[in-house]
A and B are shown apart, each in its own frame.
Chain A
Amino acid sequence: MRPFSYLRAATAEEALDAFAARPGAQFLGGGTNLVDLMKLGVTAPEFLIDVSRLPLDSVETTPEGGLHIGATVRNSDLAAHPVVRTRYTALSQALLSGASGQLRNTATTGGNLLQRTRCPYFQDTSKPCNKREPGTGCPARDGVHRDLAVLGHSAHCVATHPSDMAVALAALDATVQVRGAGGERTVPVTDLHRLPGDRPDVDTVLRPGELITGVTLPPRADGGHSGYRKARDRASYAFALASVAATVRVEGGLVRDASLAFGGLAHRPWRARAAEEVLRGAPATVETYARAADAELAAAEPLRDNAFKVTLTRNLTVNVLSDLASRAEEGARPPT
């Protein structure tokens, strides 16, 4: 690992000033991904600005009835928060499906969003990789890519974004608060991560030196249910082969409203708006859910060894929506 200087920032201003003085710096959150990438030689910052103890560690109800989550809130604390469990269940489930108890205690909300792909070529500095070293090529396209993208990939990169949390946030219409030298701005979480195109080295729309300070969830409509389901190679502690986050509101046997996002399929959490179009106003049936999944997955371009992800995602979608809709109906039934 390359030697580096270290500064623990006490305030966001101090962190931004420190970056301005040394643009080669990187922000350090919980470090569960960054420290590993430094060990692997994938990244070699000469200056780390530790933002893990910034006073951004609270979860608060917003005046509109939503929820604001500070960037340094740990994944485990967020998953266990009573309001997240009851009103944003998909987020709690997504967090709990990710990593391990130890890692969730350390990983932060901001850092989770900014973690890098686990594509094996990206993590192996003896291999070419357009994301790590632009212009060197993408051996994953014709190589080991069973776990990689089926949607939105390019000739230059077939990596997936590994976060579970971000998939739930995408379905829940979260926004991300960002601070930089130019002031503060808000980015919808669905716009935070880029598709690879011809610049796979750029993961997000954040400008150099911009710092995530928090995430805001809008209020949830009454009577809606949300959930997250993840398929993986072992029962626990593995990245998603495919995952689905969904919110559903059913009234009188019809889908009144629904949102859907896929994980493990693309360079960013994949908000499935074509599927949502099919769902809205349609009968709350398995046939509708399958038709919705198919509408979205028509855009899939599987690689040689990962076409199974398309079927898997279709089945997960039907499963999650059926489950949520039946819980919604049970909740709507008058107590006997």
Chain B
Amino acid sequence: MSQAKRFAFTTIDPSLGDTSFRPMLSVRLARRDQSVVADGLLDSGSMVNVMPYRLGLALGASWEQQQVVVHLAGNLANLEARALLVSATVEPFAPVLQAFAWTKSTDVPLILGQVNFFQAFDVCFFRSELAFEIRSKQVAQ
């Protein structure tokens, strides 16, 4: 078990005051020789990781080649999604393999959910301090 790393909540829209804070986490996603840095929403209520279409394309993924269909629920139920495995790095932790429901939507945010971000990391929210802490379950190499 690693040491915890503390991050600050992100202000999405300052005009919204106290309701504008989100637990956004910068994560480097990599697949084969492509990589991209994106801000993911830490969503412990989401059962899965969700990736918007543009990010999958930026990682060199081909929709036609990702043949495992993922059936999402709720507001995302009408969106096509495919399973996509990528390496994810949250500094200062070691990279971890993450499975995403890669959607055709460009509106959906990058969501870090239970399968399998919260399986790889323990996350503790301190909303009153506008901060959260992350601890990797993997021991750094």
A binds B: no
- Residues of A that sit less than 8 Å from B by CB: none
- Residues of B that sit less than 8 Å from A by CB: none
